[in-house]
Amino acid sequence: MLASGATSAALGAAYFLGVHSLAFFLAAQVASGVVQSAGWPCVVAVVGNWFGHASSRGTIMGVWNSHTSVGNIAGSVLAAAVLEFGWGWSFLVPAFVIAALGVVVLVFLIAHPMDAGLDIEEMEVEMNGGSGEEVELLGEDKKEDEDVLEVEAVEELPRAIGFLEAWRLPGVAPFAFCLFFSKLVAYTFLYWLPFYIRHNAVAGQFLSHKASGILSVVFDIGGVLGGISAGLLSDKIGARAVTSALFLFLSIPALILYRTYGSISMHHNIGLMFLAGYFVNGPYSLITTAVATDLGTQDAIKGNSRALATVSAIIDGTGSVGAALGPLLTGYISTRGWNNVFFMLIVSISLALVFLIRLAKDEIVSKISARH
């Protein structure tokens, strides 16, 4: 978070220093992507350490993951609010916020219950203090016992799973490629929605840059409720792939409706944008949290908790490639009309759905078999 603040501040400083070098902006963006991408696998692993119950994992992580959309909302509003003072402030102010919160996390975050003295039965040593003589020897042998305990604890730590080994885990590859296309759509909206609103009249009127940025947060508000609903539903029916596939399928008509009728009035725009955000962000939220945690703690790796961050990194990293590709393609395709952009988004969602068909089918068959 501190490094993210530094890279964002560097971009903002370019405005005040009059830097116009393409190489500088490319380097700053790459550095920003590197430091920011390192955060998600870590936080998913931390939450997985504290909330490891699979039966309620979807709901808990769905609520927790709403912070991503809340952050998008806060970032959009904050950047839009200071834009009139110069675009550099739209980078500097968020940079200060994330750096300050990074200090808070560094000081207060407890990564594992064991760090707080909880759930450490496996590290306890039974001490039999039957006589006074044994009590005297206890102080003498205390350091030796602690050294033995440290060695045993280190030996009992599970081996970190390898990259290729994690890729071969059941379900990892299909969900990773599904997230590639799902995140492509979500991040296209994140980066291009304010621009789209600004250049497409709503009720016959074009909105300002500031109004467009503020209005675009409706998509993220829908995403908050969509992520929570997807997690709750997946816990209720016990089928993550089916839930993700359902949301992906319903997001297709939602996008068509928004493109076709979103410009009729402000009410239509807000309602249909909310609906699109609800269905688009639902599976994205579910896969990056509950699904990643399920796959990182599955029976195939015998509960190896050290695999969680690796699996989460693979899934989210694959999705991040799509997140980078979507906005890039949109820049070229939008010159040929926004209908082509929405066609690209619908094709991407359809491909994401294809990767889940087999997993969803297996879940349905499993549920039917369990009833007989």
Quote the tokens at residue 315.
Answer: 């899934």
What is the number of structural domains in the chain? 1
Residue type, 343: F
Q: Which of 10, 14, 344, 26 is nearest to 187 (CA)?
A: 344
| Residue 296 belongs to some domain of the structure | yes
For residues 83 and 176, the model is more confident at: 176
- According to DSSP, the residues that pair with 202 across neighbouring strands are 205
Residue 321 is assigned to a structural domain of this protein = yes
pLDDT in tens, 245-297: 999 999 999 999 999 999 999 999 999 999 999 999 999 889 988 888 888 77
Give pLDDT, residue 54. 61
Domain that holds residue 314: 162-371
- Give the helix, strand, coil percentages of the chain, each rounded to 5: 85, 0, 15
CB atoms within 10 A of CB 126: 4
- Give the model's pLDDT for residue 6: 94
> Cβ atoms within 10 A of the Cβ of 100, count?
12
pLDDT band at 117 (very low <50, low <70, confident <90, very high): confident
What pLDDT was estimated at residue 321? 92
* pLDDT, average across residues 100-118: 87
Query: Among candidates 255, 271, 262, 274, which has minimal Cα distance to 207?
Result: 262
**Is pLDDT of 125 > 70?**
no
Q: How far apart are CA 314 and CA 302, in angstroms?
A: 19
Q: What integer pLDDT is reported at residue 288 of this predicted model?
A: 87
Domain membership flag for residue 341? yes
Interacting residues of 40 by C-beta distance below 8 A, sequence separation 6+: 288, 312, 313, 316
Looking at residue 187, what is its pLDDT?
Answer: 92
User: What integer is the mean pLDDT of 121-138?
Assistant: 42
Q: Which residue has the higher pLDDT, 358 or 71?
A: 358
CA dihedral for 135, 139, 140, 141, sign (positive or negative)? positive
Six-digit token string for 22? 């393409």
Distance (Å) of CA 216 to CA 27, 171, 208, 340:
28, 34, 12, 20
Digit-coded pLDDT (tens) for 204-250: 899 988 888 889 889 989 999 999 999 999 989 989 999 999 999 99
With left for phi above 0 and alpha for psi between -120 and 50, is residue 200 left, alpha or beta?
A: beta
Compute, in degrees rounded to 10, the torsion defined by CA atoms 165, 170, 172, 178: 150
Q: Is there a domain that residue 313 lies in?
A: yes
Q: In this structure, what CATH number is given to the domain that contains residue 367?
A: 1.20.1250.20
The answer to whether the beta carbons of residues 263 and 203 sit under 8 Å apart is yes
pLDDT, residue 15, reads 92
- Separation between Cα atoms, residue 202 and residue 187, nearest integer Å: 22
Token digits for 248? 């992906």
> Is 144 a member of any domain?
no
* Other CB atoms within 10 Å distance of the CB of residue 186: 28
Are 148 and 295 spatial neighbours (Cβ–Cβ below 8 Å)? no
pLDDT bin (cut points 50, 70, 90) of residue 126 is very low
pLDDT attached to residue 250: 97
- Asked whether residue 79 is assigned to any structural domain, the reply reads no
Q: How far is C-alpha 10 from the chain's CA centre?
A: 25
Q: How confident is the prediction for the chain on average, in pLDDT?
A: 83
Residue 94 lies in a domain: no
Q: Measured between alpha carbons, how far is 308 from 161 in angstroms, rounded to an integer?
A: 9
Report yes or no on 60 lying in a domain. no
pTM score:
0.76
pLDDT at position 350 over 90: yes
